[in-house]
Structure 1
Amino acid sequence: MKRSFVDSPETDPLVLGTGAVRAILVLRTVLAVAFGLFALLWPELTLLALTIAFGVYAILDGVATVVDAVRRRRRTRWWLGLLGGLASVAAGVIALIWPGITAVALAVVVGIWALVTGLTELATAFRLRHAGSRIWLRVLAGALSAAAGVLILVWPTAGAIGLTVIVGVFALVYGATLGAVAVTLWLTAQ
């Protein structure tokens, strides 16, 4: 059987809005928004606390993404989700193994993670480009993540509080975007 480059919008779980896809999007939304609020409400957090919070968030988000990718491995390019999830887990593990790393090193880890996550989201959106109007939300999430990654990598010496604000805003916006995708899937499933 010949596999096409692009999965059919009629058979893709994201387009169909299956319960499992909605649940994973809701989980990712809650994690991102919770992390973003935590980072913005207590900007004076020590670098150690920020590192641990990021590490836990990145691991949980990565595991959710890996599980989603593996569950849908019959799709073409399923490995893009797997790659993004593994990058997120790796970033979280690095942050937890070396909690005393400097703000610059943490910024580089977070920047690379956000860039890889964003590029993976954009690749998924490109793959589903024929799926209809909801894909623009995936493009927005990917573009925001990639842009946050680039900004963090360009200015890694912004300091722990500056990094906290950048990461907090990014996590809130990214989480809100994922939440919008989940809501539209829920509304269209009704």
Structure 2
Amino acid sequence: MDMKRSFLDDPATDPLVLGTRAVRTMLVLRAVLAVAFGLVALFLPDLTLLALAIAFGVYAIIDGVATVIDAFRRRRRTRWWLGLLGGLAGVAAGVIALIWPGITAVALAIVVGIWAVVTGLAELATAFRLRRARGRIWLLALAGALSVAAGAVILVWPEAGAIGLAVLIGVFALVYGATLGALAVTLRPLTR
């Protein structure tokens, strides 16, 4: 058995489980951005599709870049590429939304739905890998499950229209942001 690999794959050594300050800060940043985006989408549901596409594009790029950076920080782990995949999906979705902001509500719904499913699956995979770790890893699994569920609903009913999409995305972003915020608050360094 490769001792280096077993240490790196040990959930007890994962930054998320250890609750490091950098991980908490990244989670808080992602939570604040998600809640802010959710509030804009809910309180201004009659935004034009152009404004919704731009708001989503900016949010997805920032969230994706943060996730890619986190994945590269943990690149010595065997499944670090899952975070990279989720982050790149976020960046790609954001770039598509910014390059073609006049796309129809259906096309935007498909982009958002795919992004939410990919991001959620990456978070579920991370939570599953860390399932034996002490702490509140179930909150990461909940965030991932919410993301997959919201993405699936969006993909099933993409014709809901810009206002319906804004409300659905707003609710998802608020719940998702609150869940990430709760995870950040409950993370504490493990005592040995």
Segment drifting more, 126-135 vs 88-97:
126-135
Shift of 1:5: 10
Residue matched to 2:75: 73
State how 1:25-174 maps to structure 2 within 5 Å.
Answer: 25-174=27-176
**Sequence identity (%):** 80
User: SS of the residue aligned with 1:157?
Assistant: helix
Shift of 1:186: 4.7
2:160 partner letter:
A
TM-score (norm 1): 0.95
Residue 60 to residue 89, structure 1, CA distance change in 2 (3 Å): same
The answer on whether the counterparts of 1:7 and 1:128 sit within 8 Å (CA) in structure 2 is no
2:132 partner letter:
H
1:163 partner letter:
L
Shift of 1:185: 1.1
- The one-character-per-residue Cα deviations of 1:22-45 (angstroms, maximum 9, x if unpaired) are 111011001100000010010000
Find runs of 4+ consecutive structure 1 residues off by over 2 angstroms.
Answer: 1-7, 186-189
User: SS of the residue aligned with 2:13?
Assistant: coil
- The one-character-per-residue Cα deviations of 1:9-56 (angstroms, maximum 9, x if unpaired) are 321110100111011101100110000001001000000000000000
For 1:162 and 1:116, how far apart are their aligned partners in 2? Answer: 22
The answer on whether the counterparts of 1:6 and 1:128 sit within 8 Å (CA) in structure 2 is no
TM-score (norm 2): 0.94
- The one-character-per-residue Cα deviations of 1:133-190 (angstroms, maximum 9, x if unpaired) are 411101100000000000000000000000000000000000000000000015878x
For 1:30 and 1:56, how far apart are their aligned partners in 2? Answer: 14
Structure 1 portions without partners, runs of 5+: none
For 2:14 and 2:118, how far apart are their aligned partners in 1? Answer: 23
- The one-character-per-residue Cα deviations of 1:68-98 (angstroms, maximum 9, x if unpaired) are 1101111220111000000000000000000
Residue 33 to residue 188, structure 1, CA distance change in 2 (3 Å): farther
Segment drifting more, 65-74 vs 84-93:
65-74
The number of residues matched between the two structures is 189
User: SS of the residue aligned with 2:46?
Assistant: coil
